Structure 1
Amino acid sequence: MPVILAIESSCDETSAAVCADGRMLSNVIANQTIHEAYGGVVPELASRVHQQNIVPAVQQALSNAKVSKNDIDAVAFTRGPGLLGSLLVGVSFAKAFALAKNIPLIEVNHMQAHVLAHFIGDNKPSFPFMCLTVSGGHTQIVLVKDYFDMEVVGQTLDDAAGEAMDKTSKILGLPYPGGPLIDKHARSGNPDVYKFPEPQIPGFDFSFSGLKTSILYFIRDNTAANPNFVQENMADICASVEKRIATILLNKLKKAAEYYDIKDVALAGGVSANTGLRNALKETGEQLAWNTFIPKMEYCTDNAAMIAIAGYYKYLKGEFVGQDITPLARMSF
């Protein structure tokens, strides 16, 4: 029964988790509020705060799991993709811990881990399945044939869906992080009040740069006519933007699932916490007789539990790395 300590530090969350034989015992996430003053993540500040948070996060994860350092059989860590300085903190800690305890190291691809978050708990998709992975930096449709046999069949050609939400929140004057605030306002709005364009991109790929531009011009023109337009219509604007992003994502997902004849369809990544997208996937699944899978909220955003479950399956295969391993800011499937 392997007990695995997992470390996640790809962006601005410092997270540590412990799993035993694939069962999650703890999952601690330390968020960074320092970036709110800058309207986005400042890489250098993120890496510094990771250094402050990583030891307390690991100690708390071990305590919550009721295990000691001596009980750990391997250390899994995020190698990439992500911010290089942030990754370096997590990788360095994992290497030092493994060296001190003379236990194996397991590298994990952050995006693969988002997909494998669906294997935490009992409700698991069957292979092959289709996974829509949506975050601030990535938007991908992934054909998942096995735990580590994944093929990206569609992806964004420019901006990610999460970035489109973040930029929209800035245009609307909402504080950082804006994605959750758009979701909050959208819950009380009418998603059919305003119509935003849907990019006509061939195949299964996405584009969100044009949508961001149309939202910018829409707000500019309406604010010129009524300076209080945004404040008076915030809920309806957010609901309409959220609906358009969801339809862009799901229309491509429907095409991919039909083409590959897939009925098990999953959602992953930070934006999978968005209420509108979660509900839209469930509704689409009911219409098309899909088996839909969405992780619990705590496993949607960046977290070490998903690194732990990925590390567990790699442990079973004996896929370990040496002390010469280095982080990668860019890392493909």
Structure 2
Amino acid sequence: MRRAAPALAGFAAVRLLGLAVLAVWSAVAGSSPHTLLSARWDSLWYARIAAEGYGYEVVLPNGDVHSNLAFFPLLPALERAVSAVTGLSYGSAGLVVSALAAPAAAWGIFAVADLLHGRRAGVCAAVVWAALPVGVVQSMAYSESLFTSLAAWALYAALRGRWWTAGLLAAGAGLTRPVGAAVVAAVWVAAVCAWRHGERSWRPAAGMLIAPLGAAAYVLWVGAYTGRGVLGYLDVQGGWGNGFDGGLAFARFVGDKLTSSAAGAAAGVALIAGVLLVLWLYGLCVRQRQPAALLVYCGIVVALALCASGYFGSKPRLLLSAFPLVLPPAVALARWRTGRAAAALGAAALVAAGYGAFWLNGSGPP
């Protein structure tokens, strides 16, 4: 904790700034920051699962079925537990979970960066992650903070050869979001690399066996619940319009933007620039020679975010857990003088705070 204290303090300062700007913006707009953070969009689905369990669905006019089976169970289970202890509403309990999970995620990101590049880079990495434009999601009753905390610490444990811990955390990540498969793959790759480098104990195999249990248990349960077997969860996601098409639907979406109004064309150009930035950062991760486990994890998260169909406005949020992307800028910032690095991070935090307040007070959903 003492070693991570500067990273956690920087993270907390950025997030508090974001919440303060959101509170002021919401007061001017006549909205409730508490409602925006805990009782809109996906937060409502998680709270309903916590209150009533699974089985709720909405049939849209076009016949699509939105089932709450699309949402993995760990966050609503924690919301129910926190609510039982504190008496808070399920949405507010979700805010408590995120308030604990977000700094845990920042600490895990610091730990990975510190292990690979030193303490100063670790501090910068935690603050850069907090100051991402969509960083406000870290303070919402969403599963991103919980998932990123489990993923970061699972990868740290795998890099340190703590295979039981890595496997258990990966299993938890698999109970949190579908992209938990990326954590499982990362643990497997780390174990294979350990074997190649001479580790011959049974512990890597144990980590590999434990890692997929969370995701597999939920997907198999959904299959049994729907009567569709292993295809059940894919059917549920299909009802939401989600699927993996290699990015074709996203490309059509960007193309439609470019050929619409001037504002739409500007948005399309911004989307292209954002995708190129993400790919450039991933290339820097490769050039930085990050461990194979990090590259596999980050690559899968990026691929699933950019190449899935449906809900294109959510793609920036889906990239929030691709934390290895912040390591190259964090390493660069660590080489700067302290004052210069602090000024750059402060400017990024201000931009993120303004954008987050604008985003949540907009049409959504994030």
TM, length-normalised to structure 1: 0.30
More helix, by proportion: 2
More strand, by proportion: 1
Q: Which has the higher contact order (CA 8 A, sep 6+)?
A: 1
TM, length-normalised to structure 2: 0.28
